[in-house]
Amino acid sequence: MRAPILLVSEKVNPSLVDAIRREGLGKLEIDEHLHRAPDALLERARGADVLIFKNLTRVPAAMIEGARRLRLLCRDGIGFENIDIPAATRAGIPIHAPLGANAVSVAEFTVGLAIALAKRLIPAQRSMAEGKWERFQYYGHVTELSGKTAGIVGLGAIGRETAGRLGAFGMRLLAYDPYRTSAGDVPVTLTGLATLLEESDFVLLHAPQTPETVGMIGEAELRSMKPTAFLINVARAPLVDAKALHRALSEGWIAGAATDVYETEPASADDPLGTLPNVIRTPHYAGGTVESTARKAAMNLEDIRRALGGEPIRYYVNIPGPRAV
C-alpha cells in the first residue's frame, strides 16, 4: 500500500515536523524553497496527500484542480490570502488552520510594542549601546498607557485578547469590526473606523487581509490620526499604504509605528521604514512563542491524522471533509 506523501513547501513549525516524523504518518517531503518555484510546486502537489505551508506558498486554483490525491491543505498559521478557498471548497479539499492558537502570543506582542513605542525603549537602548547617556532625551518625553485610548481594528480572537490586556492598563478601548454588531463580553466600544482613527492614541491592526481591508490605512486615514498617535500592525502589510506611512512618519503626521509584517518576506534591506528612528520592525514572529507553536503543532497534527484516516477535520476554514480520493 502506498504511503501518504506529506509535502512541506516552505519553512514551517519545527515542532510539527518532528511530531510527524515521530508518528510515522507518511513520507515527509520537505523543500523549504519550493514556494519560490510555482511550476515545480504544482507538479509536486499532484502526488501529495497533504500540503503543509505557511504564508509564502501560493495555493491557486490550478494547483488545487491538479492535485487529485490531495486530502488536506494544512495552513501552519493564520491568514488565508494565499489560498484560493473557493477552489478548494469546489474540489472538496478541507483547509486546516490552528485558529486561535496564537491569539495570546500576538496580543502580548502587541502590548509589548505599545509599551516600547510609548516609552521609546528601542532608541534608548541603542543610545546606551553606543556609549551615550541621554537621560533627558527621554525623561519627561515618554508617555503612559493609562488613560489613553486604544483603537483595535478587527475584533477576532487576537483583537479580543489584546483588548483584555490593554484594559488592565486603564486604557479606554474602541474597536472597529464591520462584521460585528455587538462586542459581547469584550470591554470595548464599537465604533466606525473614522472615529477610531481620530480618537485613538494607539491604533492596533488585527484585521485579516481581504479585498476590503487592503489599503484601509492610507494617506487620508493617517492624516486623520493624532500627531501623538502610534500605529501598530501585526496583521498583514497590505492593510497599510507603505508610501503613505513613510510620509506620515517622516513628516510627523503620527508619532511612530511598529510592524511585524511585510509586503515581501524576508523584508527588503532597502525598506525605507528601516531608516526611520520612530519605527520598530520585527521579523514576523509575534505569534511564535514556545507555547503557541506547541498548540499549533498539536492542532495541525490532529487534523493531519484525521484527514489521512478519512475522518472530518476539527479546525477547518472551509469544509471539514473528508475528501474522497
What's the pLDDT tens digit per position in 2-46? 899 999 999 999 999 999 999 999 999 999 999 999 999 999 999
- Range 127-163 burial, b when 16+ CB lie within 10 A, else e: beeeeeeeeeeeeeeeeebeebbbbbbbbbbbbbbbb
Q: Is pLDDT at 324 greater than 80 in this prediction?
A: no
Binning pLDDT at 50, 70 and 90, where does residue 56 land? Answer: very high
Whether residue 236 lies in the annotated active site: yes
160 is catalytic: no
5-101+290-308 belongs to CATH 3.30.1330.40: no
**What residues does CATH 3.40.50.720 cover in the chain?**
5-101+290-308, 103-281
pLDDT score recorded for residue 325: 76
* Annotated catalytic residue within 265, 291, 311, 314: 265
Q: Is the pLDDT of residue 186 over 90?
A: yes
50 contacts: CB under 8 Å, gap ≥ 6:
4, 5, 6, 7, 26, 70, 71, 72, 74, 304, 307, 308
Whether 243 shows a pLDDT value over 80: the answer reads yes
Check if the beta carbon of residue 102 is closer than 8 Å to that of residue 319: no
Catalytic residue among 96, 120, 206, 236: 236
284 in active site? yes
Helix, strand and coil percent figures for the chain, each rounded to 5: 40, 15, 45
Is pLDDT above 80 for 60? yes
**What is the distance between the alpha carbons of residues 325 and 309, in angstroms, rounded to a whole number?**
12
Q: 1 or 190: whose pLDDT is higher? A: 190
> For residue range 83-129, what is the model confidence (pLDDT) as tens digits?
999 999 999 999 999 999 999 999 999 999 999 999 999 999 999 99
Among 120, 284, 295, 323, the active-site one is: 284
Average pLDDT over every residue of 261-270? 91
Average pLDDT over the chain reads: 96
Position 1 scores a pLDDT of 72
CATH of domain 103-281: 3.40.50.720
Mean pLDDT of 262-278: 91
